[in-house]
Structure 1
Amino acid sequence: SVPGTKVELTVSCRNLLDMDTFSKSDPVVVLFVQVSGSSEWKEFGRTEVIDNTLNPDFVRKFVLDYYFEEKQNLRFDVEATVLRGSHSALLGAQDFLGQAFVALGEVIGSQRGRLERPLTGVPGKRCGTILLLAEELSNCRDIVTMQLCANKLDKKDFFGKSDPFLVFYRSNEDGTFTICHKTEVVKNTLNPVWQPFTIPVRALCNGDYDRTVKIDVYDWDRDGSHDFIGEFATSYRELSRAQSQFTVYEVLNPRKKCKKKKYVNSGTVTLLSFSVESEFTFVDYIRGGTQLNFTVAIDFTASNGLPSQPTSLHYASPYQLSAYALALKAVGEIIQDYDSDKLFPAYGFGAKVPPDGKISHQFPLNNNVENPSCAGIEGVLESYLQSLRTVQLYGPTNFAPVINQVAGTAAQVTDGSQYHVLLIITDGVISDMLQTKEAIVTASSLPMSIIIVGVGPAEFEAMEELDGDEVRLSSRGRYAERDIVQFVPFRDYVDDSGNQVLSMARLAKDVLAEIPEQLLSYMKTRDIKPRRADPE
């Protein structure tokens, strides 16, 4: 997946342990990144060594690709380089001064992108603290709009002229190319003018303005065997200047060049216009103080099977969490980094609730109607297991009440400072489809997203319909303003090898991948700009 953005981490330490007898320590910080889905740590890089200080502010920064939907675990080891005689620290003589573990999302989600953590790891000693500052690299947020035309392209079709289109590729570090854009086909002409198109700078060159951008010119054929007309190369920097300089690119076909002595070119391409706009990113809003509020709703209907039976989707063996608990943990552990109070309202639906056995479609899992919030994901899990012991699984499966409940909360603050994410975990047998569609269409104009994880073996056609990826959801002639539902079936992520950590990381990744775009689409349609992160 294309990284959401690049983030630059600046590191400082305060009150480090003093290891040197004659002067203060000479610290260096080493960053390790955990390999996704495993317990292995890989060294990512190290700061410079700063001599004789216990309060270093390092100049060398770490630049990391940032993915909202993944848990990116980082480990910072602080070491003191020790001079042994005339030999320097290159001999690896180092004293350990402490370490800190942190997820990249925690740094970004903390106030103004600043996080302070105690250093630990030296028994019986106070090791001081590490300060991390996360800043997004600005060239990642630019969006380019450009328009090109061509002249006198080679004629490829027997009966008519050519049907030309362009394919753009960005070059990778290893010399390979990745396709990043295709223009539309202009029919039957050797002098096409293509429509203007927009593309993020990071898709075109990953933020490296001098990286090669290769452009191929093809003649479109109905059967898909498009004819190669020729190619030319440029870079983002060259394109940004080309407009004012009226640069004309020669389209060359290497095979023709070799064969024909008099070959000049296969036509030319001219850049008609090129403009750059900055776009606000997900990180801008999070750093500007937008809070993600996470609410959980769990399906307690009888179709899940009796929780005491191993065949039940709610069955938790001594050795393994139920599918419900696994899905909740996978998604919740990432989202909780962006929620400052770590308090999550959690509801159940479709059960008969004590004392009077009334059917409820939004009962608080912690049994506290006044305050349904649980402390952290662990608190939600605890209340969920407690509820399984006290309520009677029943039915029907109604989604609308809990969607309307969260929508009601979301409607109270619409200035962009709060955004709500509702996670519904269900076996997918939905009873109130019409009301649910109506609730989602209404919610689509509010600052909220809905994630549905389907557990169990059911066919989930109804859920696919709610996830408006293919067809925009509508209810009684009203269309959803935005696509706010993301559905995934849990069974797609339970791999045979039994590597649960990896499969749950994949589940979280796919479930959360659309949230940044959904949040941005809300802010954009309301013309809400991120608040400036206040300086100190």
Structure 2
Amino acid sequence: MSNIYESAEATLGFISSPCLTKVELRVACRGISDRDALSKPDPCVVLKMQSHGQWFEVDRTEVIRSSSSPVFSKIFLVDYYFEEIQRLRFELHDISSGTNGLRDADFLGSMECTLGQIVSQRKLSKALLKQGNTAGKSSIMVTAEELSGNDDYVELSFSARKLDDKDFFSKSDPFLEIFRLNDDGTESLVHRTETVMNNLSPVWKSFKVSLNTLCSGDHERELKVAIDFTASNGDPRNSCSLHYIHPYQPNEYLKALVAVGEICQDYDSDKMFPAFGFGALIPPDFKVSHDFAVNFDEDNPECAGIQGVVEAYQNCLPKIQLYGPTNIAPIIQKVASSASEEMHTKEAMEYFILLILTDGVITDMADTREAIVHASHLPMSVIIVGVGNADFTDMQILDGDDGILRSPKGEPVLRDIVQFVPFKDFKHASPAALAKSVLAEVPNQVVDYYNAKGIKPKCMSDYESTRTFSP
């Protein structure tokens, strides 16, 4: 099982696409070991991004002299693609005075993650690793601020005059900290200037800050999966079946599930995903069901991560009988019920993404159109991946790209929430290309919903900082 999962995941890489938004990353470290009993490290963090299996430097922070718990003023501004996995590495180096940059610096440890993990959690803290082991008690914290596309910036510059000397023999080594006042009365660090050594009238470098940097989107996306278990897929024991489980290669259902799920799972705080099946005869009475839990636990259909969904899918196949018809309205209605409950909460911060994997022509078109029109008023999107070579004309109609979808009674959708992609178009492409196409419309669908409801993003008030720094 792990071989199947890893072989599909390994090809998910960085590919170019239009930038959806930009993200500001702020970095702080804690518990860096001292060089020796008499001196502390001079830390600097280098940000790298993986592209086509190689690591490339994006930017680096300033060097903070003599500090074991630095909070860096440098803000990393990176392009953020919701529909891609962007792998990042934060490397911590000790660059002492007189050394030739990183060439002579001491490597103190690194941390790897995806940009999606940072954005979804807003604040990610992890231990630093060195040669596969934890680097003492040192850790790194990265905080993300997602910027809107129309952010305005202001350039600030500061200087000071006639500062007091440290003592008779030496002048001050000043730096400046700029804080913002949060709604709850706490303060958060916005910028920390460089330290100007031995100067009573310092002029610090100017810097730009977003006027919208005080607020950021805080809407969590929850992925729910629905898998087609109708007889038209073929007997799973037959190698011609779309559900055939090869011991080393993922079938088309698994490829689509891993490609999309690997990205969506970054936006779920507990990484637990409800997985449902439809169109099968299920135990114990073997009656047809169109919304059964793949793990057969109707009270708790959640699986631990995408890996858990894949395992539940594989365990489920031998226990059910593929049947029919191909009805997808019940599963849309099931998710819409959860979305409706969320919509009536005070904050309505959870957005649902239903991923439907199916091989054929749906048999309840009228009910499906009705369900989608109703769901278009709710915080949810529907992604349909067509597996196999069936006629998917009806799916194109549901997508609505060629016209406004209407219910059988003529009611139009409030907004376009369906994205359909035929998997056969991506047979010779990477899973990342499939994920990019499948998820391309989701960010705008999320924004359209919250804008229509007049729900503004939350303000971040949990960005941790301290006013005690070592210059």
Within a 5 Å distance, the mapping from 1:521-536 to structure 2 comes to 521-535=448-462
- SS state of the match for residue 133, structure 1? strand
User: Separation in 2 of the partners of 1:118 and 1:458?
Assistant: 49
Which residue of 487, 493, 496 maps to 2:420? 487
Q: Deviations over 1:353-404 (max 9, x none)?
A: 0111101101101110111111111111110111111111111110001000
Q: Does residue 141 of the first structure (1) align with residue 74 of the second (2)?
A: no
- Assess, with a 3 A threshold, how the Cα gap between structure 1 residues 137 and 516 changes in structure 2: closer, same or farther: closer
Q: Does residue 314 of the first structure (1) align with residue 328 of the second (2)?
A: no
- Assess, with a 3 A threshold, how the Cα gap between structure 1 residues 20 and 43 changes in structure 2: closer, same or farther: farther
Aligned-residue offset at 1:17:
2.8
Q: Does residue 49 of the first structure (1) align with residue 58 of the second (2)?
A: no
User: Separation in 1 of the partners of 2:112 and 2:454?
Assistant: 37
Aligned-residue offset at 1:104:
1.0
Paired position in structure 2 for 1:106: 117
CA contact (8 A) 2:93 2:102 kept: no
2:457 counterpart letter in structure 1? P
Paired position in structure 2 for 1:377: 306
User: Separation in 2 of the partners of 1:91 and 1:322?
Assistant: 45
Paired position in structure 2 for 1:254: none
Paired position in structure 2 for 1:330: 259
2:101 counterpart letter in structure 1? L
User: Separation in 1 of the partners of 2:261 and 2:20?
Assistant: 20
Paired position in structure 1 for 2:106: 95
Aligned-residue offset at 1:117:
1.3
- SS state of the match for residue 318, structure 2? helix
CA contact (8 A) 2:108 2:135 kept: no
Instruction: Tell me whether 287-296 or 435-444 shows the greater mean CA deviation.
Output: 287-296
Which residue of 365, 377, 397 maps to 2:294? 365
- Assess, with a 3 A threshold, how the Cα gap between structure 1 residues 280 and 492 changes in structure 2: closer, same or farther: farther
CA contact (8 A) 1:296 1:347 kept: yes
CA contact (8 A) 1:349 1:361 kept: yes
Within a 5 Å distance, the mapping from 1:33-432 to structure 2 comes to 33-35=49-51, 38-82=52-96, 87-90=98-101, 92-110=103-121, 113-122=122-131, 123=133, 125-137=135-147, 140-141=149-150, 287-414=216-343, 415-432=347-364
2:127 counterpart letter in structure 1? P
Which residue of 42, 47, 61 maps to 1:26? 42
Paired position in structure 2 for 1:14: 30
- Assess, with a 3 A threshold, how the Cα gap between structure 1 residues 323 and 46 changes in structure 2: closer, same or farther: same
Q: Does residue 520 of the first structure (1) align with residue 447 of the second (2)?
A: yes
CA contact (8 A) 1:428 1:463 kept: no
CA contact (8 A) 1:98 1:127 kept: no
- Assess, with a 3 A threshold, how the Cα gap between structure 1 residues 279 and 129 changes in structure 2: closer, same or farther: closer
Aligned-residue offset at 1:19:
3.4
Aligned-residue offset at 1:519:
1.1
User: Separation in 1 of the partners of 2:34 and 2:212?
Assistant: 44
CA contact (8 A) 1:305 1:312 kept: yes
CA contact (8 A) 2:146 2:217 kept: no
Q: Structure 2 regions of 5+ residues with no counterpart?
A: 1-16, 156-209, 464-471
1:92 counterpart letter in structure 2? R
Q: Structure 1 regions of 5+ residues with no counterpart?
A: 143-200, 202-206, 210-277, 496-501
User: Separation in 1 of the partners of 2:295 and 2:94?
Assistant: 48
User: Separation in 2 of the partners of 1:10 and 1:530?
Assistant: 20
User: Separation in 1 of the partners of 2:230 and 2:70?
Assistant: 57
User: Separation in 2 of the partners of 1:445 and 1:472?
Assistant: 15
CA contact (8 A) 2:128 2:135 kept: no
- SS state of the match for residue 422, structure 1? strand
CA contact (8 A) 2:127 2:135 kept: no
Q: Which has the higher contact order (CA 8 A, sep 6+)?
A: 2
Aligned-residue offset at 1:134:
1.4
User: Separation in 1 of the partners of 2:217 and 2:146?
Assistant: 12
Aligned-residue offset at 1:21:
5.4
Aligned-residue offset at 1:20:
4.0
Between structure 1 and structure 2, the one with the greater Rg is: 1
User: Separation in 1 of the partners of 2:211 and 2:341?
Assistant: 27
CA contact (8 A) 1:361 1:398 kept: yes
Identity of aligned residues (%): 50
User: Separation in 2 of the partners of 1:117 and 1:88?
Assistant: 28
Instruction: Tell me whether 379-388 or 523-532 shows the greater mean CA deviation.
Output: 523-532
Q: Deviations over 1:68-111 (max 9, x none)?
A: 1111110011111245xxx423371122211111111111111x
- SS state of the match for residue 389, structure 2? coil
Paired position in structure 2 for 1:195: none
User: Separation in 1 of the partners of 2:358 and 2:38?
Assistant: 65
1:89 counterpart letter in structure 2? N
CA contact (8 A) 1:361 1:401 kept: yes
Aligned-residue offset at 1:28:
1.2
Count, aligned residues: 388
Q: TM-score, normalised by structure 1?
A: 0.69
- Assess, with a 3 A threshold, how the Cα gap between structure 1 residues 60 and 534 changes in structure 2: closer, same or farther: closer
User: Separation in 1 of the partners of 2:255 and 2:313?
Assistant: 12
- SS state of the match for residue 51, structure 1? coil
Aligned-residue offset at 1:514:
0.8
User: Separation in 2 of the partners of 1:60 and 1:377?
Assistant: 35
User: Separation in 1 of the partners of 2:111 and 2:254?
Assistant: 28
User: Separation in 2 of the partners of 1:535 and 1:318?
Assistant: 46
- SS state of the match for residue 330, structure 1? helix
